[in-house]
Structure 1
Amino acid sequence: MVLGRENYYLILFGVVVIVIGFILMSGGKYTDPAVFNADELYSTRRTVIAPIVVILGFVIEIYALFHKSKKA
């Protein structure tokens, strides 16, 4: 294996964090397409929290790639 087992776990964790960020960013479905709800569309969860979670996931991915496993 090119990377250690710990690195692969960190990569998997980073992917999960990125997916959670995109789920937080996803929108709700409206029954009436003529209705525009700006409060829901531009909520803090979608415009602030979700992008921070996605960026955190990418930071975890970078750390996972450069992390050296401790071998005894």
Structure 2
Amino acid sequence: MSKKNKNVAKPKKEFIFEKKNYTFLFIGLAFIALGFILMSGGGSDDPNVFNPDIYSFRRIRLAPTLVLIGLGIQIYAILLNPSKNKK
């Protein structure tokens, strides 16, 4: 019977991203979620009734802009290298 060496170091588990990356990822997700929430609604229960509210500024301009900003933040968070900025 052989004893296992207790002095063998276990490999340290490391995350791919650091805290700063995850912070930006969650901010981007919040922008995307807010954009989709603002985009929802404005429909009608009766298909014969037209509701012009679906063409409001909030649904046509603001919500898609928030989604695109959120996607831009996501890309920035993925490409961000926080260890480069450390001294």
Q: TM-score range by the shorter chain?
A: 0.7 to 0.9
1:57 to 67, 70, 79: 70
- Which stretches in structure 2 are left out of the alignment for 5+ residues? 1-14
Please tell me the root mean square deviation across aligned C-alpha atoms, in Å.
Answer: 1.5
Structure with greater proportional helix content: 1
Q: How many residues align?
A: 71
Letter in structure 1 aligned against 2:38: L
Structure 1: which 5+ runs fail to align?
none
What stretches of structure 1 move > 4 A for 4+ residues in a row?
none
**Distance in 1 between residues matched to 2:54 and 2:40, nearest whole Å:** 10
Using structure 2 for the length normalisation, give the TM-score: 0.72
Shift of residue 30 of structure 1?
Answer: 3.7
Larger radius of gyration: 2
Hey, what does 1:11 align to over in structure 2? 25
Q: TM-score, normalised by structure 1?
A: 0.86
Q: Specify the SS of the correspondent of 1:3.
A: coil
Which protein, 1 or 2, shows the higher relative CO under an 8 Å CA cutoff with sep ≥ 6?
1
